[in-house]
Structure 1
Amino acid sequence: MSLARKTGAYSGYNEYKANEISTVSQIKLIVMLFDGAIRFLGIAMDNMNPRKYDVVNNHIIKAQDIITELLLSLNMEEGKEVANGLLSLYIYLKKRLLEANMKKDKQIVEECIKILTELKTSWEELEKKEVTSPQNSTVRPTGISITG
């Protein structure tokens, strides 16, 4: 297969993903970010035993990048206590993942996955409530804004 055909298919996929992301609610986007972080940490854990530390490092960094995005999306003015609580959790997760990456410690990664899974579940519950009672899109009761 030619490079042009591969690039074209990849480009089409990127367009599809960009369209999917731009049309979902903010809460769904946050759930997708948690999914990604959990998936990356799972891959990191799977590669600790065969000692593929370059793969472990790359995937922990990807999870850290997602957490950074979540951290930067916090609206501290509107979110008040919720945003402050999330800020503390995100900072804790970043510190723990840094430690896990340095030590290649599976237990720390498992701890972070557990926290991220609990957060994801909470956001999924919020998403269900949003679907049952749609609100004005300009109102952000979550205290999080992921608009540029």
Structure 2
Amino acid sequence: MLNEYDPFNAYQQTSLNSRLASANSHDMVRMLLEGLLEELGRVSGHMERKQYEAKGISVNKCLNILYGLDSMLDLENGGEVATNLHRLYDYCSRQLVAASVENDPETLVPVITVIMDIREGWSNLN
């Protein structure tokens, strides 16, 4: 029987937990955007390899990250920036679901582009 303990995964989780514990909201958004981009890459790979179950799990992770990012927005006080981010996250969610249904990695390209642009904007705030 294989040992389910994966020391590398445990190290990664510990490292992530440490970074999250010391992160401010700005850092947390950047980390979520980075994680989303990584997971979108996995979704694309799963699509190409026709790994439907793994694709579904990755798509769900992406949607959860998008919902998390959206829930952090202050639509009442955030003005046009918050409203535009809300619209972009909604677009990305809908496009991601469409890409999953079609099993078409090319349909993910606009999502990746939008998230990269948002990430760049956040990086420029430092």
TM-score above 0.5, yes or no: yes
Structure 2 equivalent of residue 105 of structure 1 = 104
Number of aligned residues: 123
Aligned-partner Cα distance in 1 for 2:8–2:49:
33
Shift of 1:44: 1.1
Deviates more, 1:49-58 or 1:25-34: 49-58
TM-score, normalised with respect to structure 2 = 0.85
Aligned-partner Cα distance in 2 for 1:118–1:72:
19
CA deviations 1:81-133 (Å, max 9, x no partner) are: 1111111111111111111111112111111111101110110111x2xxxxx
In the TM superposition, 1:1-148 aligns within 5 A as: 6=5, 14=13, 16-126=15-125, 128=126
Q: Which runs of 5+ in 2 are unaligned?
A: none
Shift of 1:14: 4.5
Q: Read off the aligned partner of 2:113 and give its amino acid letter.
A: K
Change (3 A) 1:75 1:15: same
Aligned-partner Cα distance in 2 for 1:108–1:121:
21
Shift of 1:47: 2.0
For residue 78 of structure 1, give the secondary structure of its aligned residue in structure 2.
Answer: coil
Identity between Structure 1 and Structure 2 (%): 21
Shift of 1:28: 1.3
CA RMSD, aligned part only?
Answer: 2.2
For residue 48 of structure 2, give the secondary structure of its aligned residue in structure 1.
Answer: coil
Aligned-partner Cα distance in 2 for 1:123–1:64:
20
TM-score, normalised with respect to structure 1 = 0.74
CA deviations 1:35-72 (Å, max 9, x no partner) are: 11111110111122221121122111111110000111
Q: Which runs of 5+ in 1 are unaligned?
A: 129-148
Higher alpha-carbon Rg: 1
Change (3 A) 1:26 1:104: same
Q: Which has the higher contact order (CA 8 A, sep 6+)?
A: 1
Aligned-partner Cα distance in 2 for 1:64–1:107:
18
